């Protein structure tokens, strides 16, 4: 294991580099972006640099929505789209604010409609370093969780359920299970719409208030794959990497 941000590393000495736990990248988004571009000229990145860069900003959700994927409603804050206007227009009674580049629930908080002033202070803090997105709080995550479907080398290997986590919280997940055909079909549609090469990917889904499954994230950069919860997936992952 080698840190991505260790400047003494000669990446050309490796036949390939697999991104697995570079979980501080969101603190240094531009250096990380530059590292991807430079390192991809010295060794083979898995997933590919093209995929990593596409997946770096959560604005990819809007691209997938334009291709017909049902996503958690997502708005990007800019000069014309203020938080007050978005919350009012959408009628959101509870909403989530997060950076477009984030991981491990970094700078992610939820607020109620009467806390917009408080939320604006939080937004201002995030905007010092990056863009901000806002989404409605999906109530199903508190009573059912978010389903993560893990894919390796073109195959759906297993799924887990994650409970909601916000800034500073710990991750709580279920044991691994095999998802039903309906969930598998939705995940396949998401991956097809993304149209990105991948060795590993994780599709995170949650139920909207109307019961429809919504895409919350498609993780192709450094996702937890929960391989220890499903050993056959670990074997498949190792074989897939070896074949590359």
Tokens matching residue 243: 């074949």
| Domain 75-136, CATH | 3.30.1490
Of 230, 108, 220, whose CA–CA distance to 169 is shortest? 108
Alpha helices in 6-154 (DSSP H): 29-39, 49-56, 60-66, 83-90, 116-126, 140-143
Listed in sequence order, the residues at least 6 apart from 12 whose beta carbon sits closer than 8 Å to its beta carbon are 42, 43
Residue 137: which region, alpha, beta or left (left: phi > 0; alpha: psi -120 to 50)? beta
Domain-wise residue ranges, the chain: 11-46, 60-71+140-239, 75-136
Closest CA to 50 of 194, 193, 148: 194
Between the alpha carbon of residue 84 and those of residues 112, 118, 127, the distances in Å are: 12, 11, 16
Tell me the helix, strand and coil percentages in the chain, rounded to 5. 35, 25, 40
| Residue 164: pLDDT over 70 | no
Closest to 205 (Cα-Cα) out of 192, 216, 194: 216
Establish whether the linkage from the previous residue to 207 is cis, with ω within 30° of 0. Answer: no
What's the pLDDT tens digit per position in 103-125?
A: 767 788 999 999 999 999 999 98
- Percentage of residues in the chain with pLDDT exceeding 70? 95
Query: CA-to-CA distance for 168 and 23, rounded, in angstroms?
Result: 14
Taking residues 57-65, report their average pLDDT: 97
Res 130 pLDDT > 90: no
d(CA 80, CA 158): 42
Report pLDDT for 227.
Answer: 96
Same fold for the pair 60-71+140-239 and 75-136: no
Q: What is the pLDDT of residues 62-116, one digit of tens each?
A: 999 999 999 999 999 976 678 999 999 999 999 999 999 987 677 889 999 999 9
Q: CA 213 to CA 190: how far, in whole Å?
A: 12
Phi, psi of 34, deg, nearest 5: -65, -35
Report how far apart the first and last C-alpha atoms of the chain are (Å, whole number): 18
The pLDDT of residue 169: 56
Q: For the domain made up of 60-71+140-239, give the CATH fold.
A: D-amino Acid Aminotransferase; Chain A, domain 1 (3.30.470)
pLDDT tens string 15-25: 999 999 998 99
Q: What is the DSSP letter of 177?
A: B
- Residue 145 pairs in a beta bridge with none
Residue 186 pLDDT greater than 90, yes or no: yes
């Amino acid at each position: 294991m080698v840190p991505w941000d260790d400047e003494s590393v000669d990446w050309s000495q490796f036949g390939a580099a697999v991104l697995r736990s570079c979980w501080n990248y969101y603190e240094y988004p531009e250096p990380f972006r530059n590292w991807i571009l430079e390192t991809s000229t010295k060794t083979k990145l898995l997933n590919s640099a093209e995929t990593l860069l596409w997946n770096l900003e959560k604005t990819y959700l809007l691209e997938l929505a334009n291709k017909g994927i049902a996503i958690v409603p997502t708005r990007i804050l800019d000069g014309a789209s203020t938080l007050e206007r978005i919350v009012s227009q959408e009628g959101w009674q509870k909403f989530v604010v997060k950076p477009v580049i984030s991981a491990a629930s970094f700078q992610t908080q939820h607020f109620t409609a009467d806390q917009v002033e408080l939320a604006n202070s939080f937004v201002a803090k995030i905007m010092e370093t990056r863009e901000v997105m806002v989404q409605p709080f999906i109530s199903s995550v508190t009573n059912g969780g978010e389903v993560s479907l893990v894919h390796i080398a073109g195959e759906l290997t297993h799924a887990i359920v994650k409970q909601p986590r916000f800034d500073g919280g710990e991750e709580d997940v279920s044991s691994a299970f095999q998802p039903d055909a309906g969930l598998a079909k939705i995940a396949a549609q998401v991956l097809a719409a993304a149209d990105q090469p991948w060795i590993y990917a994780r599709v995170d889904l949650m139920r909207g208030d109307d019961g429809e499954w919504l895409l919350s994230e498609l993780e192709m950069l450094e996702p937890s794959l929960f391989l220890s919860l499903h050993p056959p997936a670990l074997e498949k992952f190792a074989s897939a990497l070896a074949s590359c």
